[in-house]
Amino acid sequence: MTDSVRMTRLDNGIRVVTEAMPHLKTASLGIWAGAGARNEALREHGISHLLEHMAFKGTQRRSAAQIAEEIEQVGGDLNAMTGHESTAYYARVLAEDVPLGLDILSDILTHSVFDETELAREQNVIVQEIGAAYDTPDDIVHDLFQEAAFEGQTLGRPILGTPETVRSFSPADLHAYLDGHYRGPDMIVAGAGAVDHDRIVEQAAGLLGGISAEKGAEPEPGRFTGGERRDLRDLEQANIVLGFPAPAIGDPDFYVARAAAGVLGGGMSSRLFQEVREKRGLCYSIYAFSMAFQDTGLLAVSAATGAEDLRELVDVTLAELQRAGEGIGETETDRAKMQLKASILMSQESPSSRAGQLARQLLMLGRTVPSDEIVARIDAVTTDEIAAFLKNMLTHLPALSAVGPVGVLDPVEDIAKQLGGRQAA
C-alpha cells in the first residue's frame, strides 16, 4: 500500500480501506459485499439484485423517503450495483458529511425491514427492468453470451434473475440471504477523497460490529464451456458476441489478456476497428473486451451490423483473430499498453473509481495493489506473450451469442473449425 492508502481489519473481519486525497473537498465511500449473482442457489436466482434494491426501501430508523431526503439534504447521493461476484452500496458526499453517509449505508445493510408492500412494488419494478433488458438487443446479447460461456453454472445466469424467481422471494428469503452472505470477512468499507481513516474505522466498528465474523460459503468454481445462444428476431441490426476463455484476475497473464483485447479492439486504431469498420464499412461499432473473475475470465469481440453484412463481418473478424495469433507488431503492443495504463491511471483520479478499485482488489486479491506495481506489470507484457496468448485462446471452442436476423451465422462448431480450434465434446 502507498502512504495515502490505509487498511484496518475490524474484530469481525470487515476491512476498512481508505485513500486520502487532500486536494478534494468531497468523498466517496461505500460498503462492498463479496456476494453477487454467482453466490445464489438456483431457487435464489436474482435475489442479490433484489436485495440491493430493497436495501433503500426502509429501515427500522428511516423510511425510504427519509433515506433519500437525508442524503440529498446535504447535496449527496446514494447508489448501488450488483455484479456476479460482489454487491456495492455507495455514497458521494461533502467532506463534513462522511459520517452521515456511512451511517445511512450501515443502516440499510443492518436494519432494513423488507416491508411486504415495498417488496411487492420493487419486485414489479425489477420485472419491468428484466423486460426492458430483453427488449434491448445489445443488452440481452451479453447475457446470452455469459450463458453460452458458462453453461449450467451460476456465472452463466443473468444478474437480474427471471420474473418467476424475482416474484417468488419473501422478506424471510431476503433476511436469510443477507445473513448468510453478508459476513465480516467478505465485506469491505472503502472510502476515497476527503476522508479520515481513523474516524471511519471508529464509526464502522460501532455501526457494523454486529455482523457475523464467520466467512460465507464459497461459490461453485467457474468453468468456461463454450457453446452458443441465438435469439432470432426481425430487427434491422444483428448483435453478436464471440469470446474465449481468459485468465482470472490474479493470474500472471491477466494483463497480457487485457493488452490483447486492446490490440484486437481497444480503440479506433485497433485491428478490428480499422479492418472491419474503417476499411470495409461493415459496422458502426466493433470492440473487444476482457472480463476477469476470481477463478476464470473472458475475452470477447462485440459487434452489430445489418443482416446483409453479417457473414462478411464474422469472416473478417475471424481472419483478424487468426492473423493476431500468428504475430503482432511492437507498435500496436506499445499502443495497447499505453491505452491500458492511461485508462487505469485516469480512473484513479476519481474518488468514486478509486474507492471501488480498492474494495475490489481486497475482495478478489486479498490486498491493495499500488499503481506502480500495476504499471510495471503492464510494461512487462511483451509482443510475443500477447501473440502466444491469442494463438492458444483460439484453440478453445468459442462462446457465441447472437440476437436479430442471425440465421445466416454458421454454428459455433464450424467457427471453431475455421479458427483451427477444438470442437464441442
Both 262 and 305 in one domain: the answer is yes
CATH number of the domain residue 52 falls in: 3.30.830.10
Element of type H or E holding 287: strand 285-292
In a domain, 81, yes or no: yes
Q: Looking at residue 420, what is its pLDDT? A: 82
> Does pLDDT of 424 surpass 50?
no
Nearest 5°: phi and psi at 150? -130, 60
Contacts of residue 338, Cβ cutoff 8 Å, sequence gap at least 6: none
In a domain, 424, yes or no: no
Q: Looking at residue 422, what is its pLDDT? A: 58
Report how far residue 403's alpha carbon sits from residue 235's, in angstroms, rounded to the nearest whole number: 9
Average pLDDT across the chain, whole number: 95
> Does pLDDT of 94 surpass 70?
yes
Both 126 and 235 in one domain: the answer is no
Structural domain boundaries, residue 359: 227-419
Would you say 229 and 147 are in contact if contact means Cβ atoms under 8 Å apart? yes
Both 141 and 11 in one domain: the answer is yes
Domain boundary among 153, 173, 208: 208
In a domain, 23, yes or no: yes
**Parallel, antiparallel, or unpaired: how do β-strands 187-193 and 26-33 relate?**
antiparallel
Strand partners, 80: 89
Both 282 and 356 in one domain: the answer is yes
In a domain, 220, yes or no: no
Q: Looking at residue 37, what is its pLDDT? A: 97
Mean pLDDT of 9-18: 98
- The structure's pTM equals 0.94
Mean pLDDT of 124-151: 97
Q: Long-range CB contacts (< 8 A, 24+ apart) of 132-135?
A: 133/158, 133/160
Q: Looking at residue 425, what is its pLDDT? A: 38
Domain boundary among 208, 236, 266: 208
In a domain, 44, yes or no: yes
Q: Which of the residues are catalytic?
A: 52
Both 172 and 321 in one domain: the answer is no
pLDDT digits (tens, 9 = 90+) for 46-77: 999 999 999 999 999 999 999 999 999 999 99
Both 196 and 277 in one domain: the answer is no
Q: Looking at residue 67, what is its pLDDT? A: 98
pLDDT digits (tens, 9 = 90+) for 331-379: 999 999 999 999 999 998 999 999 999 999 999 999 999 999 999 999 9
Both 197 and 242 in one domain: the answer is no
Both 174 and 92 in one domain: the answer is yes
Contacts of residue 339, Cβ cutoff 8 Å, sequence gap at least 6: 262, 266, 267
Mean pLDDT of 165-192: 98
In a domain, 217, yes or no: no
In a domain, 214, yes or no: no
Both 235 and 119 in one domain: the answer is no
Beta strand spans in 41-100 (E): 77-82, 87-94
Confidence of residue 327 (pLDDT cuts 50, 70, 90): confident
In a domain, 280, yes or no: yes
| Sole residue written with cell 427488449 | 135
Contacts of residue 357, Cβ cutoff 8 Å, sequence gap at least 6: 347, 348
Domain boundary among 140, 175, 208: 208
> Does pLDDT of 421 surpass 80?
no
Report how far residue 263's alpha carbon sits from residue 386's, in angstroms, rounded to the nearest whole number: 9
Both 236 and 199 in one domain: the answer is no
Count up the domains in the chain and report the number.
2
Both 196 and 231 in one domain: the answer is no
Report how far residue 409's alpha carbon sits from residue 215's, in angstroms, rounded to the nearest whole number: 46
Both 240 and 200 in one domain: the answer is no
